[in-house]
Structure 1
Amino acid sequence: MSYTIALNFEDGVTRFIGCKEGETVLDAAYRQKVNLPMDCSDGVCGTCKGHCEQGAFDMGDEYLEEALSDEEAADGMVLTCQMVPASDCVVQVPVASTLCKTAVGKFNGTVASVASLSEDSIELAIDLDDDAELAFLPGQYIHIEVPGSDTHRSYSFSSLPGERRATFLIRNIPGGVMSGYLTERAASGDRLSMTGPLGSFYLREVSRPVLMLAGGTGLAPFLSMLEQLAVKGCETPIHLIYGVNKDDHLVKVDALEALAEQLPRFTYATVVVDEASSHPRKGYVTHHMDAEVMHDGDIDVYLCGPPPMVDAVLRHFDAQGIVPQSFHYEKFTPNQVGEAA
């Protein structure tokens, strides 16, 4: 038996490694040429300390408290030289990937389809090459090189991890480099190069109610997260509020309906900003965050949208005195995925 360990480095790079039964994370990483920080490898120095965000493991009792205190262990801190996984795990490594002699993954694929979903949204589907072992955490993004240019653009996956066809929701920006390619030149079979996965915005283990807030094509990572939850099963309440500027900017609602059928405790609400809209819920997502979905703050909040939306939600929480148990957000600009927290 082996387990998949996602190593998240502080520069946003994620590297996936396989860990054999009874093998420490440090040994598994070195076996796969990822040089995690270490000095002693005996649980003495604490150099290999990281944080396990999800998954089961055994730390044994062969390490010194000076290397890892009881308080740190209770908070999920680990010594990778002692950590023996008992399931798939996600481990935060507090150094840059370059210092561990590993690099962001490079992948290739072909354009499967390009679909105009609305005046401002395009769905791109890419068939990965057979040898492309592209793993990612639901919510993460990847750089896609724009054919015919020396630039790339960053997009969150909307598809389920592990699928051979990766999909993305892309905002159609007039004059945009990627938008121009997709609307004017793209054809099935075009070759695309990608690097990733990247980002600290991803689905954590669900242990309490979840509130998801999406703005425009910021819906993409939530589709990936919800697909993952549908596969694994989830009995925890999950509510998504999806806001757009105009009625015809609402896309993938059929996918949300299908996910609601698969996840019995998943609900969603769509919101339109345009005052002339006849949509039953108008305004901004902050106008529709009632007490029922806030669970008195006993929630994990995930937010993906343009910077003004992120800032508005932060101000709303502050004004209402709301302090979620955890709050993960990603700001994106029209051209790239932006700051994550």
Structure 2
Amino acid sequence: MSHVIKIFPADIAFEGDSEKTLLDSALDSGIPLEHSCKNGSCGICEAGLIAGEVIDAAGQVITAGNNILTCSCRPQSDISLQATYYPELAGQVKKITPCKVASAEKVSADVIKLLLRFPPTAQINYLPGQYINLQYQGVTRSYSIANANEKEGIELHIRNVPDGQMSQLIFGGLAANTLMRIEGPCGTFFIRKNERPVIFIAGGTGFAPVKAMVESLIAENTQRKIYIYWGMQHSAHFYSSLPQQWADANPDIHFIPVVSGEESNWQGRKGFVHNAVVEDFENLADFDVYACGSPVMIEASRKDLMTLGLLAKHFYADAFTVSK
């Protein structure tokens, strides 16, 4: 059964199928609502139910006046939602595109940098920070795009997940010209155009979308101050020297690597990566923060940074959830 879904404050509407989640119906209608993991883990798609009823993944009916996850709830009536809509993404078309492996370089003990090339006629048209769904031998996994310029192909940073199906395929040996497919672009993680200083918080391969977004800001000759906090368990796990190169070349870019594991020889910052931000700033009211990593890291960042005056509307996140 079809229901009318109204989104406020954007004042737009679309048809929602009672057998589909609100998020899927919105995306199928070309309405890009805020989201990330799409499986209920990260909470980024949370919206306020103004009117109507929905049913959640557990089969519970939720009525007006409550917050819901659009990725997990299906409409049971016409409804109205207080939700974030991004007109910047409205013209994007998510599609499946064939590609071939240009290179697969092991950049650390558990990370491969995969570069994909596309047919000359292919147009991906993504915004730096978004992700794609990689399809190979019947397995599909989501990975953030790690480069800003699609003319160079698409760069992915793929971590070796123990017993992961895609990890076994890629880390088991991947020859050049291997045929794959991608679906995308996906997600609502991208740089908002303004002059506010930016803090990036990356955990592990959460550096991938940060790399793409910083590249885009550098290409635009931005005057915004940029702070890059990158957390790893051990210093040997940092797989790119680019953040330090950016900082060395630009006085407005600052790089702060943070190690969370026990490491006696590490002389840099230690602890959880978002705690380094808390230690360095007294007031974040004038900042934009972009966090990418585990749902636990993102939720901790959101909670602790808002105590320093960061506004919720200026906190943007992309949650990495592990799939076997």
Corresponding residue for 2:70?
none
Unaligned runs of 5+ in 2: 1-24, 32-84
Q: Indicate conservation of the 8 Å contact 1:135/1:161, yes or no.
A: no
Q: Indicate conservation of the 8 Å contact 1:144/1:154, yes or no.
A: yes
1:155 is the counterpart of 2:143: yes
Corresponding residue for 2:133?
143
Paired with 1:92 and 1:162, the residues of 2 have a C-alpha distance of 17
Corresponding residue for 1:107?
97
1:11 is the counterpart of 2:27: yes
Shift in Å, 1:192: 1.0
Corresponding residue for 1:123?
113
Question: Which residue identity does 1:276 align to in structure 2?
Answer: E
Corresponding residue for 1:278?
265
Shift in Å, 1:197: 0.1
Corresponding residue for 1:195?
183
Q: Which moved more, 1:218-227 or 1:268-277?
A: 268-277
1:287 is the counterpart of 2:303: no
DSSP-derived class of the 2:274 partner: helix
How many residue pairs get aligned? The number is 249
Q: Residue deviations 1:140-159, cap 9 Å, x none? A: 0001102x2x2211111111
Question: Which residue identity does 2:135 align to in structure 1?
Answer: E
| Structure 1 counterpart of 2:255, from 246, 268, 291 | 268
DSSP-derived class of the 1:228 partner: helix
1:259 is the counterpart of 2:249: no
Q: Indicate conservation of the 8 Å contact 2:102/2:115, yes or no.
A: yes
Paired with 1:282 and 1:12, the residues of 2 have a C-alpha distance of 44
Q: Residue deviations 1:43-102, cap 9 Å, x none? A: xxxxxxxxxxxxxxxxxxxxxxxxxxxxxxxxxx9xxxxxxxxxxx95355xxx9xxxx9
Shift in Å, 1:109: 1.3
Paired with 1:103 and 1:243, the residues of 2 have a C-alpha distance of 33
Corresponding residue for 2:74?
none
Paired with 1:295 and 1:318, the residues of 2 have a C-alpha distance of 9
Corresponding residue for 2:229?
241
1:326 is the counterpart of 2:314: yes
DSSP-derived class of the 2:151 partner: coil
Corresponding residue for 1:231?
219
Shift in Å, 1:291: 6.6
Q: Indicate conservation of the 8 Å contact 2:285/2:309, yes or no.
A: no
Distance 1:129 1:164, change over 3 A: farther
Corresponding residue for 1:317?
305
DSSP-derived class of the 2:245 partner: helix
Structure of higher CA gyration radius: 1
Q: CA RMSD in A?
A: 3.0
Shift in Å, 1:295: 4.9
Q: Indicate conservation of the 8 Å contact 2:274/2:297, yes or no.
A: no
Paired with 2:29 and 2:228, the residues of 1 have a C-alpha distance of 27
Shift in Å, 1:162: 2.8
Q: Residue deviations 1:182-216, cap 9 Å, x none? A: 11131101011111000011111131111110000
Paired with 1:262 and 1:207, the residues of 2 have a C-alpha distance of 20
Paired with 1:13 and 1:113, the residues of 2 have a C-alpha distance of 36
Distance 1:159 1:153, change over 3 A: same
Paired with 2:26 and 2:319, the residues of 1 have a C-alpha distance of 18
Q: Indicate conservation of the 8 Å contact 1:212/1:301, yes or no.
A: yes
DSSP-derived class of the 1:187 partner: coil
Question: Which residue identity does 2:269 align to in structure 1?
Answer: R
Paired with 1:263 and 1:298, the residues of 2 have a C-alpha distance of 21
1:179 is the counterpart of 2:179: no
Corresponding residue for 1:211?
199
Unaligned runs of 5+ in 1: 1-8, 16-76, 78-88, 337-341
Q: Indicate conservation of the 8 Å contact 2:134/2:180, yes or no.
A: yes
Corresponding residue for 1:68?
none
Question: Which residue identity does 1:11 align to in structure 2?
Answer: L
Q: Which moved more, 1:107-116 or 1:191-200?
A: 107-116
Shift in Å, 1:13: 9.1
Q: Indicate conservation of the 8 Å contact 1:230/1:263, yes or no.
A: no
DSSP-derived class of the 1:137 partner: coil
Shift in Å, 1:329: 0.6
Q: Which moved more, 1:188-197 or 1:263-272?
A: 263-272
Distance 1:230 1:109, change over 3 A: same
Q: Indicate conservation of the 8 Å contact 2:132/2:142, yes or no.
A: yes
Paired with 1:238 and 1:313, the residues of 2 have a C-alpha distance of 17
